[in-house]
Amino acid sequence: MEAYKKLVVIVALVLLALAIESEALVVNNEQSFCRMTKEGLNACAPAVSGQNPLPPSALCCSALKTADFQCLCLFKKYSNLLSAYGIDPNLAMQLPAKCNLGQPIRC
């Protein structure tokens, strides 16, 4: 069931990207979302969801190193949609700081 929820979140984010005219990029024959792979998004899920989020994993932090934060900022406008899928937009914006990649995302 948990894997199904993650898949629904990924599909929703891709559809949302298309709806706001963002393009999914293809890097090394692998589709990505805001320059984060599906594996990277899945790795970050425990750090941005639930009432007791976990610290971001090394894989999540590694994925964030290549993320397009301006692209991700577009989705903060749709925080209600993200919240409906169990993603806390405020936690998501804090990930770069938690991964020692700089300040939280400011959109």
Q: How many domains does the chain have?
A: 1
Cβ pair 11, 38 in contact under 8 A: no
Residue 21 lies in a domain: no
With a cut of 60, say whether residue 56 has pLDDT above it: yes
Q: Single out the residue of 104, 40, 102, 31 nearest to residue 67, CA to CA.
A: 40
**Helix (H) and strand (E) counts for the chain?**
6, 3
Burial class (CB in 10 A: 0-12, 13-18, 19+), 21: exposed
Residue 92 lies in a domain: yes
Which CATH number characterizes residue 73's domain?
1.10.110.10
Residue 24 lies in a domain: no
List, for residues 15-37, the tens digit of each pLDDT value.
455 444 444 444 444 567 788 88
Residue 60 lies in a domain: yes
Residue 45 lies in a domain: yes
Residue 95: which domain range? 38-99
> What's the gap between Cα 44 and its chain centre?
7
pTM of the model: 0.67
Residue 55 lies in a domain: yes
Residue 23 lies in a domain: no
List, for residues 66-95, the tens digit of each pLDDT value.
888 888 787 777 777 677 767 888 888 899
